[in-house]
Amino acid sequence: MHEDEDDAALFRAAVGKVDPLRTDAAPPPERPRPRPAVRREDDGGDARGMAGLLAGSPDAVLLRGDASAFRRERVNARDWQRLRRGQFAAQDELDLHGASALEAEMLVARFLAESLDAGFGCVRIVHGKGGAGGVPVLKNLVDRLLRQRGEVLAFHSAPPAQGGTGALLVLLSRR
């Protein structure tokens, strides 16, 4: 008898009688990934509260490191790839650091109107990464606002050298 056979026999003696696993058992169902809770504060329904509800919509909350992305169907794949890679030069920039949600909403609307009047094709909006309770308020607000604007063809989080997930490159339609 070899030493390997002795080891196997000793192991079987130590373990004792075992029952084989059932192979017909179904695997447990996958549990959904947890979603962060979004805190909503009712402040009486003023405009600041409406902007807060828009930013805090539970169906699509962006977190600090999440990339923002939106593309209308008429934007071709080549331009979309160039936007994602940051290969369009931003012709103007809006920095929203320190702005409240209501101020940001007005600043974005005015900035887009001025950019269209100037004939700009690509602009950058810096919204930052901070927010209440880990949820970036301005980032979510700007994402929702831009999706609703007809002049916005596409937007994507900027590459790291241009602000990363704290900024957006926005493609605008030409008049």
| pLDDT confidence of residue 34 | 67
Q: Which one is predicted more confidently, 1 or 134?
A: 134
Q: At 58, is the pLDDT very low, low, confident or very high (cuts 50, 70, 90)? A: very low
Alpha-carbon span 103 to 33, nearest angstrom: 34
Q: With the CA atoms of 108, 85, 147 and 68 taken in that order, what torsion angle do they form, in degrees rounded to the nearest 10?
A: -90
Give yes or no for residue 49 having a pLDDT over 70: no
Q: At 150, is the pLDDT very low, low, confident or very high (cuts 50, 70, 90)? A: very high
Alpha-carbon span 117 to 122, nearest angstrom: 13
User: What predicted TM-score, i.e. pTM, was given to this entire model?
Assistant: 0.64
Domains of the chain plus CATH, in order, are: 41-172 (3.30.1370.110)
Helix (H) or strand (E) holding 55: helix 47-55
Per-residue b or e along 33-56, where b marks 16 or more CB atoms closer than 10 Å to that residue's CB:
eeeeeeeeeeeeeeeebebbebbb
| pLDDT confidence of residue 70 | 93
Q: At 13, is the pLDDT very low, low, confident or very high (cuts 50, 70, 90)? A: confident
Per 3-state DSSP, the chain is made up of helix, strand and coil in percentages (nearest 5) of 35, 15, 50
Bridge partners for 124 per DSSP: 93, 169
